[in-house]
Structure 1
Amino acid sequence: MILSHEVNGLLMRKYFIAFVLSLSGVGIVQGKSTDTLAYWRFEDGKPLTNLNNEPNAQPATGQTVSDVTGNNNRLRTFNTDVRRYPPDTSPTFSQRVGAIKLQKNISNNQSMHFTGMQDLYTFGGPLEKTKLKAFTLEVAVRIQSIGVTNDEFQVIVGKDGQPVKKMGNAPLQLTIAGRTEEDTVKHAPAIQIFDREGNFHNAASQTPLPKDAWVWLAAVCDGETLKLFVDRGKGYRMEANVDGIKGGLIESKGGWTIGRGMFRLAPGQWVQQGWIDEVRITSRALNVREFVGYKRSKQERDLDESQAERMSSDIEIRELVKDIADPCMIKAGDTFYISGTGAPNGFDAYSSKDLKNWKKHTGIFKKTKDSWGTHWFWAPSIIPNGEKFDLFYTSKGPIPHSGGRESMRICRAVGDSPLGPFKEVSSAIKDPLINIGLATIDIEGFVDDDGRRYIYYVLDYLDVGKSRILVAELGDDGRVIGESSFCMEPDLPWEGGNWVEAPSVIKHDGWYIMFYSGNPFFSNKYAVGYAVSRSPRGPWVKPPGNRILGEEIGMPGPGHAGLLKHSDGLYYFPFHALIGENARRATFMVGLELKPTGNQYGYRPVFTDIPTP
């Protein structure tokens, strides 16, 4: 939505676009950290020796692996008394680190080699007693025992425990599946936890790990969702995502294990053959750019200067509401409103005067028996029309004389306020606003300085093979004047080949700037780009490096952005991102500033902190 609006609110979670990362803030270097609870680097042993190379060492005096955070979460092995355990039950310090590269070029010289029935575990230390509502668990692994014939699971990192609630598994396991089951694929990684209420959750990748090759794994829990990121050598990708987590990890007594699982002091599920390195546990949900193994992608390295400037600082991203996608935001009087996709038979909305405390309003529009659309109510756009407000939206309904075929069309309703209640005008009942014989979606309104009103909408790719963004002018009666004009179609690699959608237009200093999304909305690669023009009807030009927001911010599929003006050249920038299963999305916001380019592209967008209301 392009009207004066701004949003904040529901400070349940905060994310940061960590474009330039201060590694010391997340505990990579020696020294205590409030975020990083434990970090084991395995640099403190003699190469090619077992962890405990003192033949008659007792548990109190045997060699341990240090925690480089300074938090004293040391690791030891069962091989602390050779009278009970043979020497080969201890993993070995190895110089095989392969392609592991750390941020800030921190040296990495050793890993730990496990060959079955070998392990490390904590004994005391603050980590065992820490309650984890949110956490990030990172590790680098190279597993040779991929493809083995047995069906045993191999636990990379685990949490032992005896929780209050009875369970049949350990509280936490970052594991490699030994067999294909309902929710797991053989040799694919998974993060499995019990939440605070004793519910089991399994975020399992569907792609097996490569044999004998280094990969990075990162399990991220924010207290409500559980995600698994995997870097197979080409950058981190989220490969599993489940929601419904209740309060984070269940409380339990017991240590953390590396190289095997453990439940109620009973060891099992060892890594049969492989290397483990750089194990880090953090007490918050990190974004991808904060991962210790994060590497800039080729796309990021090839950014032009304007794109590099957009990524030059840490920018806060604030979550607004969880049950709305395709956000439309508007300000009327002293009140801010947000609506979007979410309700099954119409639209809900939220209102706020301070951008922090939000009140939900259900059913600002509800379908009736006379409505043309019967389901799939998507992407509302609310714009003023005199003393009234027009609600434009997408829905699906029957196509006349088509033998029962249904399709998406754009419809219109009218209300007295941004909360409606919106009613379809008589001319719109049984007759969509835009009905050109093709599926149309994602309408967005724009009011020019002279008061003329325009709508931007999308011809869906399902009907035309390649989606297109069009523009039309609206009359005072809310109906389309004349013919629609072509704006753009997908023609850049990042757009995914067939998809451009979710247009939103602003005007600044005589320049029209359109923000749009590329790739399908359910994809992690859904992203936001922009184009510029000197006219609301185009032609529209996509500047070099026009992709401005994507999964590199640590949230998959950010897109369908709208803008709300704060002041001259400064805007609120709401968008949605994937947060759970079945393409579940939530709405977030960041600030955006327009800066002059001094060339034929007029202005470029640069992300900034959220403006103060």
Structure 2
Amino acid sequence: MVKSKDIQMRDPFIYVDRKKGRYYLYGSTDKDVWGKGTGFDVYTSSDLENWQGPIAAFRPDSDFYSEDNFWAPEVHEYKGYYYLFATFLVKATGKRGTAILKSDSLTGPFTPHSQNIVTPHDWFSLDGTLHIDDQGTPWMIFCQEWIQIGDGAICAVRLKDDLTEAEGEPITLFSASEAKWPTSFTKEEVNAHVNYVTDGPYIYKASNGELLMLWASFVKNVYAQGVSRSVSGLITGPWKHDADPLFTSDGGHGMLFHDLEGTLQLTLHAPNQTPEERPIFIKMEEKNGVLQKC
């Protein structure tokens, strides 16, 4: 068994198996996430503190189209199977994007399901997440990276019903600078832009039916977690941004889940420095769409 404080992980994601009374913890688990990718591991627990693992959930074969930057896996049940959305740096293009893998087990092995990445092949994209709208249509929400466009954006694209590829062109939901809380920065070795980061979108339907989006950026070079909300209640927005971030203690790329007792929990990684990053869990309350720590 291993404690949460001893698991080096970025971008944590929890799947709750209520039938078995188990939590499944996925994340960016390579020791050097900025370099060569070896795959993704999963840990299992009954209490969010003591974990069994790591269990190899995905290991690429020699023909896999990526060998670097294996990031931000998250697993969703859809039509009787488990689908893993994750970011990869594609060898053929030198650009990042989100691909979809599939398994009939939460512990894998997951194998490629989409033909390649499902984000645009000429974009730098990352952190795709699945959202099923009220009509049953699957969408992928993802980020177009600041290193390409300066002002990082969060986008949405419809997926085919079998999740093998995108259907139609992506739409931009908003740019990071539209929110009040993120701070801009410059990085001349990358581009000449004034830059804003968007990271790790996650969609959550509040108890009042409001559609919320968690996403991460930086406040004065410190990683932070913010919240936006769809004015229309649809994934296409328009989106209104909470003025203040939800978490400002050098952590982010979070998601929300109800634990086995029904308590709302936020998980994210903190701090944001490798190799110190760890998954942390914070009990939350949500009233009329407003999130706050317990």
Smaller-chain TM-score bracket: 0.7 to 0.9
Q: Which residue of 2 aligns with 1:346?
A: 39
Query: RMSD value over aligned CA atoms?
Result: 2.4
- The letter for the 2-side match of 1:340 is G
- Which one of 506, 511, 514 corresponds to residue 204 of structure 2? 506
- Which one of 11, 14, 18 corresponds to residue 326 of structure 1? 11
Q: Residue by residue, what CA displacement relative to the aligned partner does 1:158-214 show, whole Å, maximum 9, x if unpaired?
A: xxxxxxxxxxxxxxxxxxxxxxxxxxxxxxxxxxxxxxxxxxxxxxxxxxxxxxxxx
The runs of 5 or more residues in structure 2 that have no matched partner are 31-36, 185-195
Shift of 1:571: 1.7
Say whether 1:418 aligns with 2:87: no
Name the % identity: 22
Say whether 1:477 aligns with 2:162: yes
Q: Which residue of 2 aligns with 1:370?
A: 63
Higher strand fraction (1 or 2): 2
What CA distance in whole angstroms lies between the structure 2 residues aligned with 1:324 and 1:469? 23
Shift of 1:452: 3.1
Shift of 1:511: 0.8
Tell whether the 8 Å contact from 2:12 to 2:28 is kept in structure 1 after alignment. Answer: yes
Q: Any residues of structure 2 matched to 1:224-239 within 5 Å, and which?
A: none
Q: Which residue of 2 aligns with 1:517?
A: 216
Shift of 1:572: 1.2
- Which one of 151, 173, 198 corresponds to residue 487 of structure 1? 173
Say whether 1:445 aligns with 2:130: yes
Distance 1:574 1:532, change over 3 A: same
- The letter for the 2-side match of 1:481 is E
Q: Residue by residue, what CA displacement relative to the aligned partner does 1:110-168 show, whole Å, maximum 9, x if unpaired?
A: xxxxxxxxxxxxxxxxxxxxxxxxxxxxxxxxxxxxxxxxxxxxxxxxxxxxxxxxxxx
Distance 1:395 1:579, change over 3 A: closer
Q: Which residue of 2 aligns with 1:265?
A: none
Q: Which residue of 1 aligns with 2:291?
A: 605
What CA distance in whole angstroms lies between the structure 1 residues aligned with 2:110 and 2:238? 34
Distance 1:394 1:543, change over 3 A: same
- Which one of 549, 556, 560 corresponds to residue 247 of structure 2? 549
Shift of 1:532: 0.7
Shift of 1:364: 0.6
Tell whether the 8 Å contact from 2:140 to 2:159 is kept in structure 1 after alignment. Answer: yes
Q: Which residue of 2 aligns with 1:17?
A: none
The DSSP-based 3-state class of the residue aligned with 2:142 is strand
Say whether 1:585 aligns with 2:271: no
Tell whether the 8 Å contact from 2:13 to 2:25 is kept in structure 1 after alignment. Answer: yes
Tell whether the 8 Å contact from 2:155 to 2:170 is kept in structure 1 after alignment. Answer: yes
- The letter for the 1-side match of 2:108 is G
Tell whether the 8 Å contact from 1:390 to 1:414 is kept in structure 2 after alignment. Answer: yes
What CA distance in whole angstroms lies between the structure 1 residues aligned with 2:197 and 2:260? 32
What CA distance in whole angstroms lies between the structure 2 residues aligned with 1:558 and 1:458? 18
- The letter for the 2-side match of 1:501 is D
Distance 1:338 1:379, change over 3 A: same
Q: Which residue of 2 aligns with 1:224?
A: none
Say whether 1:538 aligns with 2:237: yes
Q: Which residue of 1 aligns with 2:79?
A: 386
Number of residue pairs aligned between Structure 1 and Structure 2: 270
What CA distance in whole angstroms lies between the structure 1 residues aligned with 2:121 and 2:247? 32
- The letter for the 1-side match of 2:238 is P
What CA distance in whole angstroms lies between the structure 2 residues aligned with 1:361 and 1:514? 29
Tell whether the 8 Å contact from 2:156 to 2:172 is kept in structure 1 after alignment. Answer: yes
Q: Residue by residue, what CA displacement relative to the aligned partner does 1:409-432 show, whole Å, maximum 9, x if unpaired?
A: 21111111221100113x52xx32
What CA distance in whole angstroms lies between the structure 2 residues aligned with 1:328 and 1:353? 15
Q: Any residues of structure 2 matched to 1:252-401 within 5 Å, and which?
A: 319=4, 322-332=7-17, 333-334=19-20, 335-343=22-30, 344-400=37-93
What CA distance in whole angstroms lies between the structure 2 residues aligned with 1:583 and 1:357? 20
Q: Which residue of 2 aligns with 1:467?
A: 152
Shift of 1:371: 1.1
Distance 1:326 1:396, change over 3 A: same
Tell whether the 8 Å contact from 1:569 to 1:593 is kept in structure 2 after alignment. Answer: no
Shift of 1:399: 3.3
Shift of 1:385: 1.8
- The letter for the 2-side match of 1:573 is L
Distance 1:481 1:570, change over 3 A: farther
Q: Residue by residue, what CA displacement relative to the aligned partner does 1:226-263 show, whole Å, maximum 9, x if unpaired?
A: xxxxxxxxxxxxxxxxxxxxxxxxxxxxxxxxxxxxxx
Tell whether the 8 Å contact from 2:95 to 2:121 is kept in structure 1 after alignment. Answer: no
- The letter for the 2-side match of 1:355 is L
What CA distance in whole angstroms lies between the structure 1 residues aligned with 2:118 and 2:6? 29
Structure with greater Cα Rg: 1
The DSSP-based 3-state class of the residue aligned with 2:252 is coil
Tell whether the 8 Å contact from 1:446 to 1:506 is kept in structure 2 after alignment. Answer: no
Say whether 1:456 aligns with 2:141: yes
What CA distance in whole angstroms lies between the structure 1 residues aligned with 2:229 and 2:261? 18
Q: Residue by residue, what CA displacement relative to the aligned partner does 1:300-334 show, whole Å, maximum 9, x if unpaired?
A: xxxxxxxxxxxxxxxxxxx5552211011101232
Tell whether the 8 Å contact from 1:326 to 1:341 is kept in structure 2 after alignment. Answer: yes
The DSSP-based 3-state class of the residue aligned with 1:541 is strand
The DSSP-based 3-state class of the residue aligned with 2:43 is strand
- The letter for the 1-side match of 2:104 is D
Q: Which residue of 1 aligns with 2:187?
A: none
Distance 1:338 1:606, change over 3 A: same
The DSSP-based 3-state class of the residue aligned with 2:89 is strand
The runs of 5 or more residues in structure 1 that have no matched partner are 1-8, 12-318, 401-405, 552-556, 597-602, 609-613
Shift of 1:482: 2.1
What CA distance in whole angstroms lies between the structure 1 residues aligned with 2:137 and 2:270? 32
- The normalised TM-score by structure 1 is 0.42
The DSSP-based 3-state class of the residue aligned with 1:462 is helix
What CA distance in whole angstroms lies between the structure 2 residues aligned with 1:524 and 1:496? 8
Q: Which residue of 1 aligns with 2:287?
A: 595
Shift of 1:528: 0.6
Tell whether the 8 Å contact from 1:511 to 1:535 is kept in structure 2 after alignment. Answer: no
The DSSP-based 3-state class of the residue aligned with 1:562 is strand
What CA distance in whole angstroms lies between the structure 1 residues aligned with 2:287 and 2:156? 26
Tell whether the 8 Å contact from 2:137 to 2:161 is kept in structure 1 after alignment. Answer: no
